[in-house]
Amino acid sequence: MTAGSRRSVFNRGLLALLAALILASCSRPAEVNPALWLAEGPQGQKVWLFGTIHSLPAPVQWRSAKVDAALKQADRLVLEVADITDDTKTAKAFAALAQSPGLPPLNQRIEPDLRDELAVELKGGGIAPAQLDPYETWAAALMLQQADSAAGASDAANGIDRALAKGWSGPIAEFEGAAAQLAIFDRLPEPQQRALLSAVVRDAPSRDAQTLALQTAWMRGDMNFIARTTAEDFLNHPELLEALLTGRNRAWLVQLDAMLAQGARPFVAVGAAHLAGADGLPAMLGARGWRVTRLQ
C-alpha cells in the first residue's frame, strides 16, 4: 500500500501550470515509463523492483519491452496485497477493524480550525454528519479519502497492481495482505490517527492537482519528485513516516531475503513511494552492496 495524503504544496500559479499541461497533453500520447530496477546480490540473487500507482483516470500502456522481459525472467509476482482484486475480502478486513464503542464524535477528534472543512468534506462525500462517529479515527480518514477519490477522475480499477495481478499466470506472493495492511493503521496511536485525519481534510481542496502531479511523475519515472513529495508529506510527522513507509520497507526486505534464500526470482511491484529516496527498497539493497541497475 502506497500509504498517506499529500500536503498542500501547490499555489495558484502552479495549479494554472498544471492545467496548461493537461491541455497540452491532450494533443499527444502520454509517455508512460514507470521506474524499474534490477537488483543483483553477491550470490547471484536477482529481484526486479517496479513502482506502481494504485489508481488512474484511465488505463495506460505501461508494459514496455523491458517490463515484459523482467516478467518473463521472474518466477513469482510479489505485491503488497496478493488478492488486490478481491474488494469483498478487503471490505471484510476493514469492517473487522474499523469501529470501536464509546468514541468521541469525529468533529471532536480533529483540530478545531478544521471542523468547518470536515463538515464540507462530509457533505461533499454524501456522508451524514454523525455517520462516521462510530469509526476509529484512522478508518474515518480513509473513508473520507475514498469518498473524495470516488468523486474525482481516478479509479482504482485502473491501478497497475490490479493489472499485474490479472495478467500474471504464475504464483503471487504478498508482503502484507489487506488485513495486515489495515492493521498498520489500526495500531497507530490516537494522536497519529488524528494527524492523519487532519491531513486528509486539510489537503482536500488541492488533492486533484496533487494527484495529477503524482500520476504524471509516476508515468515519467520521476522518482526524485516522488521522494521530495513523500518527504513533504511526513515532514512534521516522522512517526507516521516510520509506521507507513520506512518500517514497512524494512519488514519487506526481511521477507524478500527469505524468498531469495529459497532461490526465488521475484518481480516486486509496490507503490512507487516505497522505491523512492534513501529509504526506498533500491537504496536499501544498494547499501547492502548489491548491484542495483535502473532499467527504466
User: Which amino acid makes up residue 36?
Assistant: L
Q: How confident is the model at residue 16 (pLDDT cuts 50, 70, 90)?
A: very low
pLDDT digits (tens, 9 = 90+) for 123-159: 988 999 899 999 999 999 999 988 877 776 677 888 9
Most confident option among 83-87, 193-197, 234-238 = 193-197
> Is the predicted pLDDT of residue 3 greater than 70, yes or no?
no
Q: Please, what is the average pLDDT of the chain? A: 87
* pLDDT above 80 for 70: yes
pLDDT of residue 12: 37
User: Between residues 68 and 31, which one has the greater pLDDT?
Assistant: 68
Q: How many residues does the chain have?
A: 296
Residue by residue, what is the 3-state secondary structure of the chain?
A: CCCCCCCCCCCHHHHHHHHHHHHHHCCCCCCCCCCEEEEECCCCCEEEEEEECCCECCCCCCCCHHHHHHHHHCCEEEECCCCCCCHHHHHHHHHHHHECCCCCCHHHCCCHHHHHHHHHHHHHCCCCCCCCCCECHHHHHHHHHHHHHHHCCCEHHHCHHHHHHHHCCCCEEECCCHHHHHHHHHCCCHHHHHHHHHHHHHCHHHHHHHHHHHHHHHHHCCHHHHHHHHHHHCCCCHHHHHHHHHHHHHHHHHHHHHHHHCCCCEEEEEEHHHHCCCCCHHHHHHHCCCEEEECC
Question: What average pLDDT score do residues 48-68 get?
Answer: 92
Number of neighbours of residue 112 by Cβ within 10 angstroms: 8
Binned at pLDDT 50, 70 and 90, residue 208 comes out as confident
Looking at the predicted structure, is the pLDDT value of residue 291 above 50?
Answer: yes
pLDDT higher than 60, residue 14:
no
Is there a contact between 187 and 26 (Cβ–Cβ < 8 Å)? no
**pLDDT tens-digit readout, 107-117:** 999 999 999 99
Q: Is the pLDDT of residue 27 over 60?
A: no
The rounded percent of the chain whose pLDDT value lies above 70 is: 89
What strand order describes the sheet that includes 76-79?
172-174, 76-79, 266-271, 46-52, 36-40, 291-294
- The grid cell for 147 is 469518498
Rg over alpha carbons for the chain, rounded to the nearest Å, is 19
Q: Is the pLDDT of residue 51 over 70?
A: yes
pLDDT reported for residue 211? 87
**pLDDT surpasses 50 at 187:** yes
pLDDT at 30: 52
Mean of pLDDT values over 177-199: 95
Is the predicted pLDDT of residue 47 greater than 60, yes or no? yes
Cell digits for 65?
A: 519491452
**Position 31 confidence tier, pLDDT thresholds 50, 70, 90:** low
Q: Which three cell numbers stand for residue 103?
A: 468514541
**Phi and psi based region of residue 250 (left: phi greater than 0; alpha: psi -120 to 50; beta: remaining):** alpha
Specify burial of residue 1 (Cβ count, 10 A radius: 0-12, 13-18, 19+): buried
The pLDDT of residue 152:
67
Domain ranges of the chain: 12-294
Rounded to a whole number, what is the distance in angstroms from the first to the last CA of the chain?
22
Is residue 102 within 8 A of residue 190, CB to CB? The reply is no
Mean pLDDT of 172-191: 95
* pLDDT for 209: 86
Torsion, Cα of 127, 131, 135, 136 (10° steps): 70
Q: Dihedral, CA atoms, 277, 249, 269, 31, nearest 10 degrees?
A: -20
| Crossing angle between the packed helical segments 137-151 and 190-202, to the nearest 10 degrees | 20
Question: Of 14-23, 51-60, 152-161, 189-198, which has the strongest mean pLDDT?
Answer: 189-198
Under the banding of pLDDT at 50, 70 and 90, the label for residue 15 is very low
pTM of the model: 0.85
